[in-house]
Amino acid sequence: MVNGYLAETLQEALAIRARENVVPYSGGTDLMIEPDEEATYLFIHKIPELKTINEDPEYLRIGAACTFTELLEDARVPGILKDAVAQIAAPAIRNLGTVGGNICNGSPKADSALILFATDAKLRLASTRGERTIPISEFYLGRKKTALQPDELLIEILMSNTGLSNYYYKKVGARNALAISRVSFAGILQVEGGKIINCMTAFGAISDVIIRHKEIDALLVGKTLDEAKTVKKVYLGAYDQAIAPIKGRISAEYRKTVCMNLLRDFLETNGI
Amino acid sequence: MMIEFTLNGQTVESAAKANTRLLDVLRHEFPLTGVKCGCKEGECGACSVILDGKLVNSCMIALGFVAGGNITTIEGYRETERFAVLDKAYAAVSAVQCGFCIPGMILASECILAKNPNPSEGEIRDGISGNLCRCTGYNAIVEAIHIAAREGKGLW
């Protein structure tokens, strides 16, 4: 085909990626909004390794070219990711759009990427030079800027197999279907034996990249719910300092207020 | 260098570049003008077609993506018994006004019923949530899909 390669194997795709200037095309729904007539696409949606979901003792390993519909139909995908994916666009887009594309597009509004930030997911990247696995937070360098090298492909997303069941997720948009997030928030609070053993939160759509402050969330870890109440003010104060939304189609003030409301609601829902 | 795929049951090929919008290829080359162009950004669903059994927006697809795939547009779907049931159901409740969204809406209806022959109202509304209609207010369309589910027993 002219201006395109249809890769059938990962080896073939990586070889083309190493030798030519191609744009990886997974579901295409972000690329086709502003199509580049000069672009040569590397179609990767038929590569078996990129289309499968596997489980090992530690991780759920999601192939980067799995569509949102495929994630919704797989019983092993955690509820926190499904809740976010179910609210992306509408069925016809969810039938095309993929989790890997959502990540590699580099948008801070990417609804699946928010969940992967909040759960400290890892990304497995490959090229003909070899492979590397990095935390998703290291993948986002700035607005639409990622750490993906010109010869690399995102192969798999690694999500923890445990500890994700008690979650909170809210997407604030202008309507139900086909809405782009104005503010999105995801939080996980893991309580065991009366103590908080893990707290993870992330804010989407408010800045150039998705916001995740592990050091602030650590304030709650090791505390009982009652003890957490005593540091609640400090915790919220730290986020109040740390979050500085940028103005987009809506004001920075609105975004900030919604962020703090969602964070407070996340705590209150968990009895803090 | 041709890109081959199945279109409404026939094997066809296109010499267009792999990065061309499928929507433009369908409308201009074949020319299947039942595939409507509303927004070119995946918002309106007027360009919906069925690709390998799934509803997709043809404006959001580059031609190279469908190599080897199977596409049904309204022109092919209207030859089916299922279409006849939907056609009658839409007419029964006046679910068509200007008609621009209807090719996409009918294909969305097909995908809803193919997934669940007895869909709930919520499933119907989710199934057509990517197909905008500025005339009807949707209620008549939802009702039509309910009627088709009832009248088309055994077809889906």
Domain boundary among A94, A129, A160: A160
Q: Do A198 and A225 lie in a common domain?
A: yes
- A190 within domain boundaries: yes
Looking at residue A176, its pLDDT comes to 79
Chain B partners within 8 Å of A37 (Cβ): 19
Chain B partners within 8 Å of A96 (Cβ): 56-57, 60-61
Domain total in chain A = 2
Probe site for chain A from B57, B65, B71, B129 (most A CB atoms < 10 A): B65
- A43 within domain boundaries: no
Q: What's chain A's average pLDDT? A: 96
Q: Do A100 and A152 lie in a common domain?
A: yes
CATH (domain of A174): 3.30.390.50
Q: Do A83 and A131 lie in a common domain?
A: yes
Write the CB contacts of B35 (distance below 8 Å, at least 6 apart in sequence).
Answer: B23, B26, B27, B47, B49, B58, B73, B74, B103
CA distances from A151 to A47, A103, A124, B121 (A): 17, 17, 14, 47
- A41 within domain boundaries: no
CA distances from A52 to A29, A55, A64 (A): 20, 10, 9
Q: How confident is the model at residue A82 (pLDDT cuts 50, 70, 90)?
A: very high
- A12 within domain boundaries: no
Which helix (H) or strand (E) element contains residue A84?
A: helix A79-86
Q: What is the ipTM of this complex?
A: 0.97
Q: Is the pLDDT of residue B51 over 80?
A: yes
- A20 within domain boundaries: no
Q: How confident is the model at residue A25 (pLDDT cuts 50, 70, 90)?
A: very high
In whole angstroms, give the CA distance from residue A4 to residue A147: 24
Q: Determine, for residues A39 and B54 on separate chains, whether the beta-carbon distance falls below 8 Å.
A: no
Q: Is the pLDDT of residue B1 over 90?
A: no
- pLDDT (mean) for A119-140: 98
In whole angstroms, give the CA distance from residue A250 to residue A172: 12
Of B15, B21, B126, the CB nearest to A32: B21
Domain boundary among A101, A136, A160: A160
Domain boundary among A98, A132, A160: A160
Over residues A86-119, the pLDDT tens digits come to: 999 999 999 999 999 999 999 999 999 999 999 9
Q: What angle do CA A20, A21, A22 make, to 5 degrees?
A: 100
CA-nearest residue of chain A to B67? A6
In whole angstroms, give the CA distance from residue A130 to residue A120: 23
What is the span of the domain harbouring residue A256? 167-269
Look up residue A222 and give its amino acid.
G
- A9 within domain boundaries: no
Q: Do A63 and A151 lie in a common domain?
A: yes
- A15 within domain boundaries: no
Which helix (H) or strand (E) element contains residue A62?
A: strand A59-63
Q: Where are the beta strands (DSSP E) in A161-217?
A: 167-172, 183-192, 195-204
Over residues A147-168, the pLDDT tens digits come to: 999 999 999 999 999 999 999 9
**Domains, chain B, with CATH or none:** 3-76 (3.10.20.30), 80-151 (1.10.150.120)
CATH (domain of A153): 3.30.465.10
Looking at residue A211, its pLDDT comes to 96
Q: What angle do CA B138, A180, B112 make, to 5 degrees?
A: 40
Look up residue B97 and give its amino acid.
Q
- A8 within domain boundaries: no
End-to-end CA gap in chain A: 58
